[in-house]
């Protein structure tokens, strides 16, 4: 419990740092762009941290790390919401028509928008009562959407970068390792199941 509280407050550090930069003139000539980039970047980092929990649990045999997954996932949603709000309020000034045009016409905004809608679904269903109401099997199936969200966010990042694609490629590499780990586990489980079935 103590560690989770520490993690909770620690997850605010990127926001505190960003506010510090805003107050003490640490941002560039285009502060809105800086805020959009920082919040989007942290939303993706928290998403990857959330997906790192299971491999860490299995590789190091530490079941206790599972309790941090929900906090990390919710903070990914928190930073993604700030990212979206920056675009909505500071970038588009609530110009709904221009926003709708952006969502329809610019593929990187379209995928970012779909990712955010799906993230909202996962965030809402992470409320304990709703999870209990849904039942574990349905909840787990729904939360597999996290893989689709990750792919959409990677596309969003890759599409928006105009020149140097090193950073999005690095994120794609890390995501590939995390997703590859799941595929490997799934294949192994299927193989074990087939083997035990044929032995019966």
Nearest to 178 by CA among 150, 136, 145: 150
**Least distance from C-beta 104 to ligand HEM, angstroms?**
12
- Packed helices 96-105 and 107-124: angle between N→C axes, nearest 10 degrees: 100
Q: Which residues are at the interface with ligand HEM (CB under 6 A)?
A: 36-37, 40-41, 43-44, 47, 76, 80, 83-84, 87, 109, 112-113, 115-116, 119, 153, 156-157, 160
Q: Which residues, other chains included, contact 44 with Cβ-Cβ below 8 Å and sequence gap of 6+?
A: 76, 153, 157, 171
Q: Which residue is nearest to ligand HEM (CB)?
A: 40
Q: Where are the alpha helices (DSSP H) in the chain?
A: 2-10, 13-23, 31-60, 69-85, 96-105, 107-124, 128-134, 136-142, 145-160, 166-199
**Least distance from C-beta 61 to ligand HEM, angstroms?**
30
Rank residues 5 and 173 by Cβ distance to ligand HEM and give the closer one: 173
The DSSP annotation for 78-103 comes to HHHHHHHHIIIIIISTT-HHHHHHHH
**Least distance from C-beta 154 to ligand HEM, angstroms?**
9
Cα 116 to Cα 192: distance, rounded to the nearest angstrom: 36
**Least distance from C-beta 116 to ligand HEM, angstroms?**
4
Rank residues 68 and 82 by Cβ distance to ligand HEM and give the closer one: 82
Rank residues 47 and 49 by Cβ distance to ligand HEM and give the closer one: 47
Q: Which residue has the tokens 């520490």?
A: 6
**Least distance from C-beta 53 to ligand HEM, angstroms?**
17
**Least distance from C-beta 26 to ligand HEM, angstroms?**
16
Rank residues 68 and 149 by Cβ distance to ligand HEM and give the closer one: 149
**Residues constituting the chain:** 200
Rank residues 69 and 83 by Cβ distance to ligand HEM and give the closer one: 83
Rank residues 36 and 175 by Cβ distance to ligand HEM and give the closer one: 36
């Amino acid at each position: 419990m103590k560690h989770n509280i520490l993690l909770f407050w620690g997850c605010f550090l990127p926001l505190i740092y960003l506010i510090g930069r805003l107050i003490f003139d640490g941002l560039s000539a285009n502060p809105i762009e800086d805020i959009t980039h920082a919040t989007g970047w942290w939303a993706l980092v928290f998403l990857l941290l959330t997906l790192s929990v299971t491999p860490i649990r299995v590789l190091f045999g530490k079941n206790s790390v599972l309790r941090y997954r929900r906090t990390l996932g919710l903070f990914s949603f928190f930073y993604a919401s700030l990212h979206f709000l920056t675009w909505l309020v500071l970038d588009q000034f609530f110009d709904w028509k221009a926003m709708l045009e952006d969502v329809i016409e610019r593929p990187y905004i379209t995928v970012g928008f779909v990712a955010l809608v799906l993230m909202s679904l996962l965030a809402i269903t992470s409320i304990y009562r709703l999870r209990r109401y849904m039942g574990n099997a349905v909840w787990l199936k729904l939360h597999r959407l996290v893989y689709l969200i990750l792919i959409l966010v990677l596309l969003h990042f890759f599409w928006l970068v105009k020149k140097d694609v090193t950073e999005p490629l690095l994120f794609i590499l890390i995501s590939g390792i995390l997703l590859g780990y799941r595929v490997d586990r799934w294949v192994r489980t299927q193989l074990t199941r087939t083997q035990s079935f044929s032995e019966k």
